[in-house]
């Protein structure tokens, strides 16, 4: 987001502080220990092992030397400026030391110490004081109660995670941010077992100051990071988090996101564990949708996709070529591909003919089965793979060779054939499924292949890459839908149906030519003017379920019948809702045929206005079949929303119906979303239910509308 | 299925032959090689390494000795009876050698040789000849074109799979059957990496004789097998396969089944790869549903679940207790639990109070977070785990301890605390998520814990175990619904709507008191007799879409109107379907309110009569929201079918509707299923669409019915 005009000097200064946090020249470790196993000893040990090129100053009043470094009694005794201080001291001492660090020029501190907001009210007060003091001195804080971070290329290890104990981390092009230090360490260990190098890792702990969003944004700017992985329990600031995703998108860096708390029990546990707003998981998904983000549910998926995306270009599209030496594995991978939204189209007919001529017992269609014949002629491997990538021109490919690479007799010939066969593949990713010792797998990785042991996991990673590629290719800043010039703002009070419809009309939505009548005579006249048949219903802000009390008449066939219906509706209302305030009776032409959809907006406490669309009735109410977006959507995006609905076939003309007017429906969605965004903060819910979408070319019309104004602060209304 | 009266002497003889296949006393290896890397050399090498206690006879005309065993020029030269022969010779030689083997008493042969039905028409003829000859001599055949099998406990290795090359397999209580030998080998290698021992493995190749079903049934009888894992591309005989699942269920052995070919591309590839009928994947799922089977989509799931189910009792239910030292991992596992259908209910309040008193910074609810405090007091681990398993009485538990077990300082204390805390857990499974070297993980396994490295995989395995437990606890032989004594058989010809309804009425389904009229006067009389309003529609076997041509009148309010409607319907029919044969017009009372469902049966080419239910209209047509069962269902099972529907809430009283008469709907489903089973072979489709399910207590009534008789053989009708 460099060059973004809303980034202030303060933000630039923050970036600078984050740069000091991630790659300082001088580091003080306060509470440093000679014991390399203790919290204050581990970072010293790791810096030493990594041969940190900057200056390291252990601080300990009882030692002159710690693990080979000269030690100082206090930060103030260090004869140098300090860029970053690491605090491994009891909580009550943290804030005073931060002040000392500030005087030595420190721009950032990493606070390991626990005993802050994660404990008691007193701890929370301590954390508040820490944050305020640090902010006052312009010092940024990572933590408290965090495991710190590392930057492998910089030899920078301000962490007491046990992860580097087993050896310094592998280099790699992945950056990882985890709120939980303990789970972050677990992820790092699983990553190492998978030969995935993480260059920068940071854990954010209590997030008194620096949060996950800011670190993701820093990784988006970091030239040594190509892929950002992130483990998240809650978002502290929606705006900051979306800005970070925007920065990653702008830098064309995929973000692989594991956000836990989808389930009810999980969300409750996350809300109590972190202090962040849980928010609605569905709205979270809608909010991250425009960005180059793949959300995953398991650590394996996180790591597999980070591995694949950091070692290979993303595929251009979803077309996958599968080549195996076992028919069964091909079937398995074709199944997995469908599940991942990949396509497995057949090879061109002439290529199939050529391949079958060379290998009569094989299946050259796709999945391609070379069969064990490959053992007799490795030229078959070369030719089939080349055909897959060149002539069939698939966007990505996967090959199943089980333990062949591990065999000293077979392996080298297979590897040579694969090298030759993939010479012309350009930058298309190709994964190989194999079981072989790590050094052999690495030799294939050195050839540019992705290596997996499980075929389903290989396909899942390719699927994730293809989705990321599509999202990263979508421009981030789309045309905002224009708010109609005639649009009138929402007032702060509760609206009648007629008022709600009138305001949506000013925003550009189509209404029926409706009349409010107050007598049987007026009803007769209205029916005559509008043309029969008409629909009539009581107009009252107090009655939600008008049909149930008999206050609706449909298909009224004549002006005389309308006069009669008026009296019946008023009588029914007097019986069914004697206390209701009555504005009169609405008379409108019958709307005709079409598909009823629901279009609405509500105000999400985390992400602001959210627009929703679903097909009327059971689809929304029973199946929860809705599509959501955060903010306003244009017509194209509204069309995509409709296309996501499980019941979309109804609009597209299922069951012999005519195709509905999708353009008109999309326009209505866009108009409502623009109106909602323009009125953000003034409503809890705006809902058109139903919007009647008529057959193609005949438009879409608002039949009923409801606006719930924003409640008083602290008393959120039920926003549906 | 021991004791099943339909098992014949032939079946018993088959069992005996399979026993010889799996654990023979004397084995001949025809085409044995001195080179332990060649196809004919590998089994000799494996037998030698395994110190096979039986007699091994390598057959090779050019050698006197092979790999230390005395060799013979031909089978006939062996001075002993042969139980089993392994054939590693060119395809054309196979059948003659099988005849020789038969003369030496062999009951079974394992045929490695390729060049049979998997190749050309000539190969298929060769295979046919092999199968016929073997059957004639009473010799059972595994293969051809298979990788063979092994039985670790018996030291029996008639296989050329490369799997045992890396060392003899681990012992274990899992049996594995795979159609594909290559993929089977891959699975075995993944299993070994996961420390999962497979005692018996068999690959079935072309299945000229012995198929997967027969081997699964053999494993169900094998006393050394507790869990059966199976990789399948297609089912050769539905009846045999279901009988095998029945035997496994009767033996209370879980079957974990990976059947590939779910996707369209995958199914097509499977059909071309194997010669088996692909069939409908949804029908396959319905067919295996009554048994103790968990179908999985990935090898990891197959192995994780086989590992868990073979090392631990299955849980009694779905209630899971989660204990962690990291809040984030608890949230992650709670999410995963919901996805797996497990429950994570809170700990009893008094237990929570006691735990929070001992550990004020922890979260004792569930997921339980001990936090890093556990490091200061391992008694907390003991007490929290004991509370989970004893007081809270969860059916299963999972603990997340990341790399703690790997630390020499922490590990032993953690292990001791876990041992103490789980003393009273009875047979409840408990999984631990840890990252540690294999010997340390094994020491926890020796304590009775299941060990996983990834938390999501631990939860998935527990979810699978819970589902298996529920299914194994369900009795297999449920009451068959009784066919009504009045039921009349379906004739072989196409039926009119009225005939179809009448026959379903004889089977016990409720009909409206409908009359067929042939004049306006008769219509008037019928309306008067039935009571208005009535519904009227043309009766014709030739008109499927009566509404579209105007041949339906609903809500006819008087006998006079009925007379008029008759004329209108006849006129509309003459215009819209001039060639149709007309039986008259059906007059019936209006059916009233209710939920329209579709109940049908169709004849599946693999599994026979399949009963289907769905909610009318869009649910079935747009959302494919249907529940299926193979064979007949009783009322309870029919209720479960209704409960599986996504739109079930509509029947249960969503949107302010009254609750529908579920009992009546279930009765109708059961009656239709019994009628379909009794008429198996005589119909392609029987469909009641709609069955109107009225509010509770008011019954369910057939409004329309369609019967498509069985088509001529080889021309299957489109069975919807």
Residue of A nearest to B265 (CA): A334
pLDDT of residue B27: 98
- Pick the residue of A296, A332, A457 with the most B CBs within 10 A to test the interface with B by mutation: A332
| The two structure tokens encoding residue B40 | 């004919």
State yes or no: cis peptide before A690, omega within 30 of 0: yes
Residue B359: closest CA among chain A residues belongs to which residue?
A: A119
Chain A positions touching B622 (Cβ under 8 A) are 646-647, 649-650, 654-655
Cα A442–chain centre separation: 32
Reported as a single tens digit per residue, the pLDDT across A591-603 is 888 999 999 999 9
Residue A22 scores a pLDDT above 90: yes
- For A268, which residue in chain B has the nearest alpha carbon? B331
pLDDT score recorded for residue B1: 38
Best of B266, B299, B345 to disrupt the A interface (most A CBs within 10 Å) is B266
pLDDT value at position A273?
A: 63
- Pick the closest to residue B187 from A540, A433, A703 (CA basis): A433
The reply to whether A679 touches chain B by the CB within 8 Å rule is no
- What residues of B are in contact with residue A300 (Cβ under 8 Å)? 454, 456-457
Per the model's pLDDT, the better-predicted residue between B49 and A620 turns out to be B49
Residues 622 to 651 of B: which have CB under 8 A from any A CB?
A: 622-623, 646-647, 649-650
- Chain A CB contacts of B656 below 8 Å: 548
CA separation for the pair B68, B48 (Å, rounded): 8
CA–CA distance, B610 with A661 (Å, rounded to integer):
39
Closest by CA to B422, choosing from B454, B446, B388, B456, is: B388
Residue A231 Cα, gap to closest chain B Cα (Å): 9
Residue A60 sits at the chain B interface (C-beta within 8 Å): no
Please indicate if any CB of chain A lies within 8 Å of the CB of B264. Answer: yes
3-class SS of residue B510: coil
B335 touches chain A (CB under 8 A): yes
Q: Are residues A335 and B266, on separate chains, in Cβ contact within 8 Å?
A: yes
Instruction: Write out residues in chain B with pLDDT < 50, as ranges.
Output: 1-5, 714-720
Report residue A720's pLDDT band, with 50, 70 and 90 as the boundaries.
Answer: very low
Angle at the Cα of A241 (from A669 to A27), degrees rounded to 5?
A: 170
Q: Which residues contact A504 (CB under 8 A, 6 or more apart)?
A: A511, A671, A672, A675, A686, A688, A702, A705
Residue owning tokens 């005087």: A103
**Cβ separation A435–B186 shorter than 8 A:** yes
Of B455, B190, B304, B462, the C-alpha closest to A298 is B455
Average pLDDT, chain A: 91
Of the partner residues B360, B454, B646, the one whose CB lies closest to the CB of residue A623? B646
Percent helix, strand and coil across chain A, each to the nearest 5: 40, 20, 40
Comparing alpha-carbon positions, the chain A residue that sits nearest to B300 is A454
Angstrom distance (rounded) from CA B300 to CA A138:
50
Q: Is residue A403 within 8 angstroms of chain B, CB to CB?
A: yes
Contact A182 B369 (CB under 8 A): no
Q: Is A179 in the B-facing interface, judged by CB distances under 8 Å?
A: yes
Cis status of the peptide bond prior to B144, with omega within 30 of 0: yes
**B:379-398 residues touching chain A, CB 8 A cutoff:** none
Q: Which two tokens stand for residue B306?
A: 């086989």
**Cβ contact (<8 Å) for B339 and A263?**
yes
Picking from B185, B269, B657 by the largest number of A CB atoms within 10 A of its own CB, the best residue to mutate is B269
Distances (CA, A) of B77 to A450, B28, B71, B80: 53, 11, 10, 9
Question: Is A338's CB within 8 Å of B265's CB?
Answer: yes
A91 within 8 A of A97, measured Cβ to Cβ: no
Residues of chain B contacting A332 with CB distance shorter than 8 Å: 183, 258, 260, 266
Per-residue burial over A509-529, b if 16 or more Cβ lie within 10 Å, else e, is bbebebbebeebebbbbbbee
**Cα B144 from Cα B130, distance rounded (Å):** 9
**A465 close to A314: Cβ distance less than 8 angstroms:** yes
The reply to whether residue B621 touches residue A654, judged by beta carbons under 8 angstroms, is yes
Task: Look up residue A103 and give its two tokens.
Answer: 């005087």
**B509 to chain A nearest CA, in Å?**
28
Q: Is A621 on the interface with B (CB under 8 A)?
A: yes
Chain B residue with minimum CA distance to A362: B119
Q: A582, A557, A558: which is closest to A569 by C-alpha?
A: A582
Mutation for A interface: B115, B328, B690, most A CBs within 10 A: B328
Predicted local distance difference test score (pLDDT) of residue A7: 54
Instruction: Give contacts of A 343-362 with B, CB under 8 A.
Output: 344, 360-361
Contact criterion met (CB < 8 Å) for B622 and A649 = yes
- CA-based nearest distance A456→chain B, Å: 6
Q: Does B363 touch chain A (CB under 8 A)?
A: yes
Chain A residues close to B409, C-beta within 8 Å:
37
**Helix or strand or coil: residue B460?**
helix
Nearest CA in chain A to B120: A361
Q: How far is A162 from chain B (nearest CA, A)?
A: 8
Q: Does B682 touch chain A (CB under 8 A)?
A: no
Q: Which residues contact A563 (CB under 8 A, 6 or more apart)?
A: A520, A521, A523, A524, A527
* Cross-chain residue pair B297–A623, CB shorter than 8 Å: no
Q: Is A549 on the interface with B (CB under 8 A)?
A: no
Taking contacts as CB-CB distances below 8 angstroms, the residues of chain A near B161 are none
Chain B residue numbers with beta carbons less than 8 Å from the beta carbon of A331 are: 233, 260-261, 266, 269-270, 273
Residue whose tokens read 């340390």 = B440
Best to test chain A binding among B146, B147, B178, B182 (most A CBs inside 10 Å): B182
Q: Does B266 touch chain A (CB under 8 A)?
A: yes
Question: Which residues of A are less than 8 Å from B376 in CB distance?
Answer: none
Q: How far is A593 from chain B (nearest CA, A)?
A: 16
| DSSP code at position B59 | E
What part of A 647-666 touches B (C-beta under 8 Å)? 647, 649-650, 654-656
A151, containing H or E segment: strand A149-151
Alpha-carbon distance of B253 to B250, in angstroms, equals 8
In tens, the pLDDT along A129-154 reads 999 999 999 999 999 999 999 999 99
């Amino acid at each position: 987001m460099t060059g973004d005009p809303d980034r202030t000097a303060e933000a630039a200064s923050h970036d600078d502080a984050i740069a000091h946090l991630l790659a300082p020249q001088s580091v003080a470790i306060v509470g440093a220990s000679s014991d390399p196993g203790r919290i204050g000893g581990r970072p010293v040990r790791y810096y030493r092992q990594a041969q940190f090129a900057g200056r390291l100053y252990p601080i300990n009043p009882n030692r002159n030397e710690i693990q080979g470094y000269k030690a100082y009694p206090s930060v103030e005794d260090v004869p140098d400026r300090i860029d970053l201080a690491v605090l491994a001291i009891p909580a009550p001492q943290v804030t005073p030391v931060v002040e000392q660090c500030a005087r030595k020029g420190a721009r950032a501190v990493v606070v390991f110490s626990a005993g802050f907001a994660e404990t008691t009210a007193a701890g929370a007060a301590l954390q508040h004081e820490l944050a305020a003091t640090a902010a006052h001195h312009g010092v940024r804080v990572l933590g408290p109660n965090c495991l710190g971070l590392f930057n492998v290329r910089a030899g920078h290890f301000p962490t007491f995670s046990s992860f580097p104990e087993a050896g310094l981390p592998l280099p790699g092009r992945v950056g990882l941010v985890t709120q939980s230090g303990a789970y972050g360490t677990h992820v790092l260990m699983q990553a190492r077992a998978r030969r995935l190098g993480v260059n920068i890792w940071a854990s954010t702990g209590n997030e008194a100051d620096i949060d996950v969003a800011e670190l993701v944004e820093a990784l988006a700017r970091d030239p040594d990071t190509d892929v950002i992985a992130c483990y998240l329990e809650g978002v502290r600031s929606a705006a900051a988090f979306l800005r970070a995703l925007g920065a990653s998108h702008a830098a064309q860096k995929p973000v692989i996101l594991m956000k836990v708390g989808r389930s009810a029990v999980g969300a409750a546990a996350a809300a109590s564990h972190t202090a962040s707003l849980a928010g609605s998981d569905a709205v979270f998904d809608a909010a991250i949708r425009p960005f180059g983000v793949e959300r995953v549910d398991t650590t394996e998926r996180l790591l597999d996709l980070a591995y694949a995306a950091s070692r290979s270009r993303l595929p251009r599209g979803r077309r996958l070529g599968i080549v195996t030496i076992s028919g069964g594995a091909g079937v398995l991978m074709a199944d997995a591909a469908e599940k991942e939204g990949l396509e497995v189209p057949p090879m061109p007919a002439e290529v199939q003919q050529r391949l079958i001529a060379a290998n009569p017992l094989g299946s050259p269609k796709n999945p391609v089965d070379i069969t064990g014949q490959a053992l007799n002629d490795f030229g078959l491997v070369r030719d089939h793979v080349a055909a897959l990538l060149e002539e069939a021109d698939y966007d990505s490919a996967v090959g199943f060779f089980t333990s062949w690479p591990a065999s000293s007799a077979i392996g080298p010939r297979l590897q040579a054939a694969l090298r030759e066969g993939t010479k012309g593949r350009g930058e298309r990713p190709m994964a190989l499924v194999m079981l072989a010792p790590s050094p052999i797998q690495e030799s294939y990785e050195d050839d540019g292949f992705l290596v997996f042991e499980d075929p389903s996991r290989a396909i899942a990673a390719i699927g994730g890459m293809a989705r990321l590629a599509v999202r990263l290719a979508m421009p981030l800043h789309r045309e905002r839908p224009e708010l109609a010039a005639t649009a009138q703002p929402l007032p702060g009070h509760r609206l009648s149906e007629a008022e709600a419809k009138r305001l949506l009309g000013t925003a550009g939505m189509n209404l029926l030519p409706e009349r409010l009548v107050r007598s049987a005579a007026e009803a007769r006249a209205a029916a005559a003017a509008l043309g029969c048949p008409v629909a009539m219903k009581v107009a009252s802000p107090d009655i939600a379920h008008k049909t149930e009390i008999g206050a609706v008449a449909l298909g009224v066939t004549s002006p005389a019948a309308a006069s009669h219906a008026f009296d019946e509706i008023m009588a029914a209302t007097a019986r069914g809702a004697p206390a209701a305030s009555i504005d009169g009776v609405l008379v409108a032409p019958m709307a005709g045929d079409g598909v009823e959809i629901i279009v609405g907006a509500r105000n999400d406490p985390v992400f602001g206005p959210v627009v929703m669309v679903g097909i009327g009735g059971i689809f929304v109410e029973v199946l929860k079949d809705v599509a959501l977006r955060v903010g306003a959507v244009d017509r194209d995006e509204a069309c995509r929303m409709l296309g996501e609905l499980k019941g979309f076939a109804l609009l597209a003309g299922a069951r012999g119906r005519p195709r509905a007017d999708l353009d008109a429906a999309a326009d209505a969605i866009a108009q409502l979303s623009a109106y909602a965004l323009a009125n953000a903060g003034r409503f809890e819910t705006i809902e058109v239910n139903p919007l009647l979408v008529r057959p193609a070319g005949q438009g879409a019309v608002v039949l009923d509308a409801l606006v719930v104004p924003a409640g008083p602060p602290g008393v959120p209304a039920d926003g549906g």
